[in-house]
A = this chain, B = another copy of it.
């Protein structure tokens, strides 16, 4: 019975039939993750974690390039610290998991499993910061956070999830704003250049900003069901937290000043974004720059002389050339099973090597993005493979961008807005009032996403899409994950 199972290609629900079920089918059948025996939590299995490692490597190198240093702060935060900044505690308290017992001892004060770490970073910044010479401090940590969510979905919303959180303090408001936007741009680069996710970047409304921030910026990606996924945020706190935590420094004139602060974060949500942006009826399609395995080598008629040796040689050559390749020489499953398995897992390129290929001095090449087959000369395969991977990377980005652009509509009234958010994003003029956001939310279950930076070049009217009063901003609205 177990033998049978391995040969059976499991069914994936078509996307247009039930996108949500398609998503669930893909993540479970690819072995990216599994449901944990703890409410609302998931387990990142090897293939899913390998994608996260790739995201970490790409992000982390860029963080360090702009002068960020990694640190590690405790996962438990005393309740009294969480209470110090009023907006912040109001935003997070309802979803905190509390430690109340340590060993045999009932704790005097409850400890929050960190939902985010601003308050504990601020406590230490206040201790460490003395003079202007100590600034800026630009720290980041890779860790997990816990938010006691009611409704959860793997990668998109789970009680515990992996993320990175950057926390920085600066001598001036300008510098803090520059940091906020620099990190947003780092996120955009990784999203667009590495994960092939086209994103809209811009500022969130006051309603949607982070609890305690003066301004929140986000990047918003569009999933294939037309819904928005907030894929990264960067916050400028001004001196909100500095005042609550007394983070002061002696400036060059010897006077005490409050430091200006930022924070910024991305999470395993990005894996959800990759799946829902690029996946198709056969499963995942991973962009080559984020794929844990860029090419899988399959021996065909492996018992024939020379086939296995040629495959091993090819694997060594491509690894030496810096590619992430895997030779699948399992003899416990059929070639057909392997084809399906690696297509499901979204490996960008499959290289088939059989006796006839070897006779002709070629490999048979299957590209996962278009599902096209061709052949390539074995000679200088590394060069041709790099070109092919670049082409796939570019193609996936352009396909996603084309989808996003054709599913973004400029709208002038509520009817148009309501229609637009059924299939994608609505780009509208907005008065800036929360009442209009609330009305749009109530009528269409759509929320404001963000406001493009170049508002001048983007305007297309002067009345609010909802109330008809004078418009102040261009705003994207969408249903959202």
**A residues whose Cβ falls under 8 Å from a Cβ of B:** 2-3, 5-6, 34, 36-39, 41-46, 49-50, 52-53, 69-78, 81, 94-105, 110-111, 113, 120, 123-124, 127-128, 130-131, 133, 139, 143-144, 146, 148, 159-160, 162, 250, 332
Contact = CB atoms under 8 A, between A and B. Distances in A.
A100 B76 CA distance: 14
Contacts of A50: 69-70
B100 A98 contact: yes
23 contacts: A3-B131, A5-B130, A6-B133, A36-B73, A37-B81, A38-B78, A38-B111, A39-B102, A43-B72, A43-B73, A43-B74, A46-B69, A46-B71, A52-B72, A72-B162, A74-B160, A97-B99, A97-B102, A98-B101, A100-B100, A100-B101, A103-B148, A113-B113
Pairs of residues from A and B, 6 with the lowest C-beta to C-beta distance, nearest first: A46-B69, A41-B74, A103-B148, A44-B72, A102-B148, A98-B101
B104 A94 contact: yes
A127 B33 CA distance: 13
A154 to B, nearest CB: 12
Given A37-B124, A76-B97, A99-B99, 19 more contacts: A2-B130, A5-B130, A34-B128, A36-B73, A36-B124, A43-B71, A44-B72, A46-B70, A49-B71, A49-B72, A50-B70, A96-B103, A97-B111, A98-B102, A99-B113, A100-B100, A102-B159, A103-B148, A143-B144
B160 A75 contact: yes
Nearest to A250: B2
A199 to B, nearest CB: 25
Contact of A37 (B78, B94, B148): B78
Contacts of A97: 76, 99, 101-103, 111
A111 B19 CA distance: 34
A332 B38 contact: no
B101 A146 contact: no
Given A37-B78, A94-B104, A130-B2, A71 B45 contact: yes
Nearest to A46: B69
A148 B46 contact: no
A344 to B, nearest CB: 17
A89 B26 CA distance: 37
Nearest to A249: B2
Contacts of A41: 74, 76
Contacts of A69: 46, 49-50
Nearest to A145: B75
A97 B133 CA distance: 40
Q: Which of A44, A52, A76 has the most CB of B within 10 A?
A: A76
A105 B95 CA distance: 10
A81 B72 CA distance: 28
A144 B75 contact: yes
A98 to B, nearest CB: 4
A72 B44 CA distance: 5
Contacts of A104: 94
A44 B71 CA distance: 5
Contacts of A146: 75-76
A56 to B, nearest CB: 11
Q: Which of A71, A104, A162 has the most CB of B within 10 A?
A: A71
A424 B157 CA distance: 53
Nearest to A31: B128
B46 A76 contact: no
A46 to B, nearest CB: 4
A73 to B, nearest CB: 5
Contacts of A5: 130
Nearest to A3: B131
A250 B78 CA distance: 49
Contacts of A73: 36, 43-44
Nearest to A41: B74
Contacts of A144: 72, 75, 143
Given A113-B113, A148-B102, A131 B71 contact: no
A368 to B, nearest CB: 22
A97 B102 CA distance: 4
A100 B50 CA distance: 33
Contacts of A148: 102-103, 105
